[in-house]
Amino acid sequence: MRRFVRSHATELALLAVIAVICVFLSFATDRFFTLGNAFDLLNTSSVNIIFAVGLLVVLIAGGIDISFAVAASVVQYLTATVLGWIGGGNWIVGFIIAGVLGVALGCINALLIHGFRIISIVATISTFNIFFGLLMFFTGGVSIYNLPDWLTTRVVLFEREMADGTWAEITLPVLIMAICVFATWALITRTTTGRQLYAFGDNPEGARRFGINIGAMQFIAFGWLGLMAGIAGLVQAHYAQEVVPNALYGRELDVLAAVVLGGARLGGGKGSVLGCILGVLLVSITQNGLNLMGVSPFAFKMIVGAIILAAITLSNTSIERLLPFLKSRRVPS
């Protein structure tokens, strides 16, 4: 038990913060504590969670990526265009095109970082600008509204009528998110490749001495984020029912904050899928709650920022200090 607390301190701290906020919002508003609202939260958080688990892999491997959100916009646009050319397609074709494009863009980052030895933050700030610049230049900022029918049709996986006559629904993005979460979890905790990614982020020199292929690690990490970004791009297009070139611009910082909040370390070697999801949920629950309470949207960012700070402080000061009875007796050395 004590060991569990020590190794999952961040996740537990986040859970505690989320629980407190939920209790507060349940009393402060009448709509927060309803099934419909819970499902809404899931539906709207799906895209960010897909981004987040992708970014998590890069952070674990000791890198950082600023470009993935605009990369997703590029993928959205190209996929929509290609789907137009081939005259429709379907979900499978859509995912293949978006996935391949996403991986390709991720590999450009990996190539810059590994092949040209540019540190990841600089490399991805450059690609962020290049991707976004090219996108705006070639599209002229024009959105695409005539998407294929299959892409814009809402797919409801589960629904239930509420007492007040509204419908609580779980939609397709949640399923896709669940698959991405599971795949990332399996990759980083169940496969040898995942453990090598952790090792590489934790101590690159130590990993090198084991003969871990450093280049492969970079391509896998950024390729995986690219794949997730591609998928998230397509899902976002489905959710919004349109492709707007700058719709995802700025999303990268929200996601990055949520992932770091979830315990991933800038610098590598640390982070979990659960923490990542909790990080995203904490931010969206707060936003959702403020919304329901009728707080001005201008105050949102400020309050979300304050909550991120509070949560990070709580998980840094280590649960042990807040709950001293958990402290194990120290052996003097």
Partner 1 sequence: MAVGPGLAPARLQDCKRDWIRGFDSMADQALDGAAPRPLLSLRNVNMTFGGVKALKNVSFEVLPGEVHCLAGENGSGKSTLIKVITGVYKPEAGAVIDYDGQSYSHMSPVTAQASGIQVIWQDLALFPEMTVAENIAFQTVIGRWPRLVNYAEMRRVAINALQRLGVTFDVDLALHHFPIAQRQIVAIARALVGEAKLVFMDEPTASLTQSETDYLLDIVRNLSASGVAVVFVSHRLAEVLEISSRVTVLRDGALVGVYPTKGLTQSRITELMTGKTFDYSVLHRDLSRSPVMLEVKGLSRPGEFDDVSLTVRRGETLGISGLLGAGRTELALTLFGMRKPKSGSVVLDGRPVRFGSNRDAIAAGVAYLSEDRLSLGLIQPQAIADNMVIASLDKILSGGFISSDRKRSLVNRWIRDLGVRIGKQDDAISTLSGGNQQRVAIAKWLATDPKLLILDAPTVGVDVGARAGIFDIVSKLADSGLAIILISDEVPEVYFNADRVLHMAQGRIVGEFTPGATTPQAIEEAVYA
Site residues, partner 1 (CB under 8 A): 2-3, 6-7, 189-196, 198-199, 202-203, 205-206, 208-212, 269-270, 328-333
- If the CB atoms of residues 275 and 289 are measured against partner 1, the closer one turns out to be 275
Nearest approach in angstroms of CB 257 to partner 1 is: 21
Pick from 118, 228, 141, 111: nearest CA to 179: 228
Nearest approach in angstroms of CB 332 to partner 1 is: 5
d(CA 254, CA 168): 27
d(CA 247, CA 143): 10
- If the CB atoms of residues 175 and 326 are measured against partner 1, the closer one turns out to be 326
The pair of three-digit structure tokens given for residue 308, joined into one six-digit string: 């991120």
Host H or E run for residue 157? strand 156-161
Neighbouring C-alpha atoms within 13 Å toward the C-beta of 318: 9
Q: How many CB atoms lie within 10 A of CB 51?
A: 31
Nearest approach in angstroms of CB 94 to partner 1 is: 27
- If the CB atoms of residues 164 and 205 are measured against partner 1, the closer one turns out to be 205
Nearest approach in angstroms of CB 224 to partner 1 is: 13
- If the CB atoms of residues 3 and 117 are measured against partner 1, the closer one turns out to be 3
Nearest approach in angstroms of CB 83 to partner 1 is: 32
Nearest approach in angstroms of CB 55 to partner 1 is: 18
8 Å CB contact between 47 and 248: no
- If the CB atoms of residues 6 and 31 are measured against partner 1, the closer one turns out to be 6
8 Å CB contact between 124 and 64: yes
The pair of three-digit structure tokens given for residue 260, joined into one six-digit string: 């770091």
- If the CB atoms of residues 94 and 262 are measured against partner 1, the closer one turns out to be 262
- If the CB atoms of residues 200 and 239 are measured against partner 1, the closer one turns out to be 200
Pick from 205, 219, 207: nearest CA to 57: 219
Pick from 122, 95, 131, 100: nearest CA to 238: 95
d(CA 57, CA 11): 17
d(CA 10, CA 12): 5
Nearest approach in angstroms of CB 131 to partner 1 is: 29
Helix (H, G, I), strand (E, B) or coil at 243: strand
Nearest approach in angstroms of CB 204 to partner 1 is: 10
- If the CB atoms of residues 296 and 328 are measured against partner 1, the closer one turns out to be 328
- If the CB atoms of residues 147 and 221 are measured against partner 1, the closer one turns out to be 221
- Cβ contacts of residue 73 below 8 Å, gap of 6+? 131, 132, 135, 233, 245, 246, 247, 248, 249
Nearest approach in angstroms of CB 275 to partner 1 is: 13
Would you mind telling me the total number of residues written for the chain in this entry?
Answer: 333
